[in-house]
Amino acid sequence: MSSELRKAIDQISKDKGIDRDLLIDTLEEAVRSSITRKYGHADDFEVGFNEETGEIEVFQFKVVVDDVYDEDSEIYIEEAREHDPNVELDDEIGFRLKIEDLGRIAAQSAKQVIIQRMRDAEQEIIYEEYKDRKGEIVSGIIQRRDRAGWIINLGRTEALLPKEEQIPKERFKRGDRVQAFIVDVRKEGRGPQVVVSRSHPDYMVSLFKREVPEVDDGTVRIMGVARDPGSRAKVAVLSRDRDVDPVGACVGIRGSRIQNVVQELRGERIDIVVWSPEIATYAAHSLSPAVISRIMVDEDEKLLEVVVPDDQLTLSIGRKGQNVKLASKLLGWKIDIYTESKYNEINAGREKLDQLASVIDAPADIFSNAGFTCVEEVIDSEDDELAERLNLTPDRVGNLRYALRIMGFEPTLQMNAPADEADETDETDEADDATPQTPGGDASGN
């Protein structure tokens, strides 16, 4: 029995990776628990593992007295001297108990404690192992599916691939081998929860590190990743060595390196672009394969106005706006794209609005801030709308209408001069009409 217990401890320690001393402590604690269950306390008991015999030894200690009031903790001196002739009153004497004497219920209690402690110890070991593996790629076998996502068997533990971390339209069945990226390790009551992802941008970074030695050793740095998982991605790269082409290193000979990444991501198309500290240059690279005419940068708003040839608009925007969305995500800037013809039209409208703002003595951006892009939009707006959007009084709206007329943007109607000058002209005409005229003579009648 003793050798069997020692062998069991050694085997469990080896198979489960649990420290041997921790196992022995667990066994001792389980026996103490069973003692407490039977006697109500364990203060008068000593439990220990004997390495020589390979047994758990239990000793119960009793105080030597003349009169016994508690048989569990006291013993008559006469009975004590049968075990040790030299004992005296108030001495403590120990008696070895057999574990079997603790009873069936106590034995079951000890078994439950051992199982629970071993499970806790194993879970703690697994947690300590995986908590430092965040950012690594792991491989496992699809085990089942539940409400949260796919459960993947990693061997010693399970991992969860949540729905939001999956590649859209990717399908698995039980027994499929799958790779994923560890994004979190949570300590939960049922044990450590390893959470993995296949859609995370850093998963792509890890795949490139695995496939491209220059990325792994830091010669080529991945500066940013923007993904539409399962469809398309953009990866910005930078080389620290002038002799190393970052794009060529990532693509590999005949595309061998990048193709391995594409296959792992179920055909996700990947654009490799060169990173640049100049935002306009970086934007031009990020919008490839479209050709860019020019880029205007608004640092305050983090806005880029990109002008492309008319025949490049579809290519620059991409299917369902995918190209410009990924470029915007990669840069962290908002991107507005215009064709050259549209931009020239808008620019001409802006110049007219700037002239109009100058005439009415208003800030240059008063119209653009209100959402106007051309003079025609101002002309077509009602007076109440102009007053509200431009925050103008009715009198200033009238001045705006007058400015539009004198600049030739609106018809002049019948009024080309201020009202008071027109009144004076009318009065003069009336006076002339009232003066009597003599045929063939002047006004005096001569």
222 or 74, which is more confident?
Answer: 222
Find how far residue 173's CA is from the centre of its chain.
Answer: 27
Determine, yes or no, domain membership for 230.
yes
Q: Name the residue range of residue 401's domain.
A: 360-419
Instruction: Among 275, 301, 334, identify where a domain stops.
Output: 275
- The answer to whether residue 72 sits within a structural domain is yes
- Asked if residue 262 belongs to a domain, the reply is yes
The pTM for the full model equals 0.63
Does 38 share its domain with 114? yes
- Lowest mean pLDDT, pick from 24-38, 150-164, 173-187: 24-38
Q: At 63, which CATH number? A: 3.30.1480.10
In a domain, 61, yes or no: yes
**Quick one: 112 and 12 in the same domain?**
yes
**Residues 181 and 204 grouped into a single domain:** no
Which residue among 73, 108, 127 closes a domain?
Answer: 127
CATH classification at residue 186: 2.40.50.140
* pLDDT tens profile 355-400: 888 878 888 788 878 888 778 888 888 888 888 888 888 888 888 8
Residue 414 pLDDT level (bands cut at 50, 70, 90): very low
169 in the same domain as 232: no
Which residue reads 């041997």 in tokens? 20
148 and 256 housed in the same domain: no
Q: Are residues 111 and 219 in the same domain?
A: no
pLDDT of residue 279: 95
Residue 102 in this model has a pLDDT that exceeds 70: no
Would residue 284 count as lying in a domain?
no
What tens digit of pLDDT does each residue of 313-366 get? Answer: 999 999 999 999 999 999 999 999 999 888 887 777 777 788 888 878 888 788
Q: What is the pLDDT of residue 421?
A: 42
At 226, the pLDDT band (50, 70, 90 cuts) reads: very high
- What confidence category does residue 103 fall into, taking pLDDT thresholds of 50, 70 and 90? low
| d(C-alpha 65, C-alpha 196), whole Å | 66
Higher pLDDT, 347 or 288: 288
Number of domains in the chain: 4
Mean pLDDT computed over 86-90:
79
Is residue 427 a part of any domain in this protein?
A: no
Q: Over 70: is that where the pLDDT of 425 sits? A: no
- On whether residue 387 sits in a domain, the answer given is yes
More confident residue, 270 or 1: 270
**Residues 248 and 221 both lie in one domain:** yes
Residues 139 and 114 both lie in one domain: no
CATH number of domain containing 265: 3.30.300.20
What mean pLDDT is predicted for residues 170-189?
A: 89
43 and 118 both lie in a single domain: yes
Residues 159 and 249 in one domain: no
- Is the residue at 151 inside a domain? yes
Q: What is the pLDDT of residue 22?
A: 76
pLDDT > 90 fraction of the chain, expressed in percent and rounded: 40
The yes-or-no verdict on residue 106 having pLDDT over 90 is no
Query: Among the listed ranges 13-17, 280-284, 412-416, which one has the minimum average pLDDT value?
Result: 412-416
CA 217 to CA 209: how far, in whole Å? 8
The most confident of 11-20, 115-124, 293-302, 366-375, by mean pLDDT: 293-302
Q: Are residues 120 and 160 in the same domain?
A: no
Tell me which of 158, 177, 197 is where a domain ends: 197
Quick one: pLDDT at residue 189? 65
Statement to judge: residues 62 and 154 lie in one domain: no
Residue 182 confidence (pLDDT): 95
